[in-house]
A and B are shown apart, each in its own frame.
Chain A
C-alpha cells in the first residue's frame, strides 16, 4: 500500500491563513516584545540600538514596580475568591432541574452578555459621589478616590463581570454528574450537603479546576474595569501589571519598559497555567 505519492499542497493551503496570522500576529509580536525589552526603540517600535538590561534594571529597581506586582497578586486572589465561591454557590443551587429553574438560571447567567466596558460605566454611576449608593447609605464617600476603597470597587465590578461565565461552566460540570449516582446517594440517606461535597464537587473536578484557574488568569489580564473605574488611581493603588503596561506604552511613551512589564505579565500567566497543569494531573478525577 505504501506508495510514494506526489507532493500535495492542498492541506498546506487550507492551513495557510491560520499559520500566517499566527506567525504575523502572535509569534512575531511576541518576539518583538522580548527583543524590545533589551533594545532602544523609536515611536513606531523599530529598534534603534541595543540597551541590554537598562530597562530591566530600571524596572526591578523601581519600588513602584514591586508595589504594582503586589497589587496584581492581591487583585488576582480577591477576584478568584469572590468569583469562584459565588459561581460555585449559584451553580450548586441550580443543579436540580425545577419548574422555575429556567428563570433563575437565566438571571444567574445574564451578565455574561454584558460588556466589561458598559458594566464598568453602569457601576461607576452608582459609585460616584452623588450616585445612588451614597444616597441610599446616607454617606458621602468618594468610593473611587479613596485609597482603601477603590481597590474593592474595582474588585466588586470585576467579580460581577466574571461570575456568570464561571457559573455556566460549573453548572455544565455538575449537570454532567450522572443522575444514577445521585439517586443512589439519596437512597443511602445522604443529605444535600453530603451530596454536594462528596459527590458533585469531586465528580465535576475538571470543570472546577478550569474555572479556578481561568479566574486567576482573567483577573491578571483585567484592563477595562481598572481603566474606566479608577484609571489606576488613586496614587496607583489600583494599577496592576496589565494596566501599567498600558500607562507606560501609551500615556508615557515608554514602550521598552512596557515590554519588560509585558514579559512579567506573560511569566505570571505562564506560572499559573503550569501550576494548573501540575495540580490537575494530581487531583482531578476523570471518569
Chain B
C-alpha cells in the first residue's frame, strides 16, 4: 500500500513537471549564451550559463519604465477596486433604502456585459477625452470591480447584525463602524482579492495595448510582448522571466489565499 502511494506520487509529480516544462525550458534557455542557443541542432546546455541575456534586456529595453508603469497601474486600480467594492457592499448588506433592489439588479447587470464586447467603445471614449498615453486613460475604466462587490456583500451578510446594532447603540458612527469594525472583519477576503487582483492587473494586456502608443507609457506586458517578433530567443526569454518573477512570487506566497479567493463566491453552493 505504502509503496503504491509513493509510485503514484512520483508519477503525479512527473506529470506536473511536464505541465510546467515550457517554463523550465524558458528559464534554462534564458541563461544560455547566444552562440549556444543558435547552434543547430539545438542542445540544452547549461555549462556556459551566463547572465548576458538578462543584462542585455535591461540595457536594450526600458524594463524599469515598464515596471514603473505597471506598478502605477496596479497601485491606482487595486486600492480603488477594493475600496469602492467595500463601500457598495456595506450599503447592500447593512441598509434598507428605496430603490435598493433596482440598484442591486443594475449592478448585477454589469456582469452580463463582458468587457471585451465594449472595449472598442471604451477606447473611442478615452481617445475622445484625450487620455491616450496617460495614466488616467490606463486606469479610469478599471476603478470598480462589480464581482468584488458581490463577494464582499456575501461576506458582510455573514457578519451578525447584532454587532452593527450594538456598535450603533454605543454611539459608533456609520463610517466609524465601517472603518474600525467592518473592514477589519473582511480583511481575509480583501487580502485574497488583492493577491488575485494584483496578478490580474499586472498581467493584463489588451487594454494597455490599446491606450498606450509611446514606449515610455507601455506596461511590462505590452512592453515585453513587443519582443515576440524578435528572433533572439535568449533575450526574449530572459525578459519573459524577469516579467514573470513577481506574479510567480505572489503565487508562491499567497497560493492558499488565492485559491480561497477564486473559489469563494464563484459557485453557489
Contact = CB atoms under 8 A, between A and B. Distances in A.
A118 B255 CA distance: 20
A17 B143 contact: yes
Contacts of A201: none
Contacts, number: 262
Contacts of B210: 250
Contacts of A25: 122, 140-141, 144
Interface string B15-33: 1110110110110010000
Contact of B267 (A18, A43, A135, A173): A173
B120 interface: yes
B266 A210 contact: yes
A139 B90 CA distance: 61
Contacts of B17: 107
A197 interface: no
A242 B125 contact: no
Contact of A245 (B12, B113, B120, B128): B120
A33 interface: yes
B16 to A, nearest CB: 3
Interface stretch (B56-64, B163-171, B186-194, B217-225): B217-225
B65 interface: no
A160 B262 CA distance: 19
A112 B199 CA distance: 9
Contacts of A52: none
Interface string A74-108: 00000000000000001001100011110110111
A208 to B, nearest CB: 10
A265 B116 contact: yes
B244 interface: yes
A142 interface: no
A111 interface: yes
Interface in B218-257: 221-222, 224-225, 227-228, 231, 233, 236-237, 240, 243-244, 247-248, 250-252, 255
Contact of A15 (B15, B103, B128, B141): B103
A160 B13 CA distance: 17
Contacts of B255: 106, 109
Contacts of A168: 259, 262-263
Interface of A: 8, 10-12, 14-15, 17-19, 21-22, 25-27, 29-30, 32-33, 36, 41, 43-46, 90, 93-94, 98-101, 103-104, 106-126, 128, 130-132, 135-136, 138, 160, 163, 165, 168-169, 172-173, 176, 206-207, 210, 217, 221, 223-224, 227-228, 242, 245-246, 249-250, 255, 258-259, 262-263, 265-266, 269-270, 273, 286-287
Interface of B: 5, 9, 12-13, 15-17, 19-20, 22-23, 25-26, 29, 38, 40-42, 84-85, 87-88, 90-92, 95, 97, 100, 103, 106-107, 109-110, 112-114, 116-125, 127-128, 140-141, 143-144, 146, 149, 174, 199, 202-203, 205-206, 209-210, 221-222, 224-225, 227-228, 231, 233, 236-237, 240, 243-244, 247-248, 250-252, 255, 258-259, 262-263, 266-269
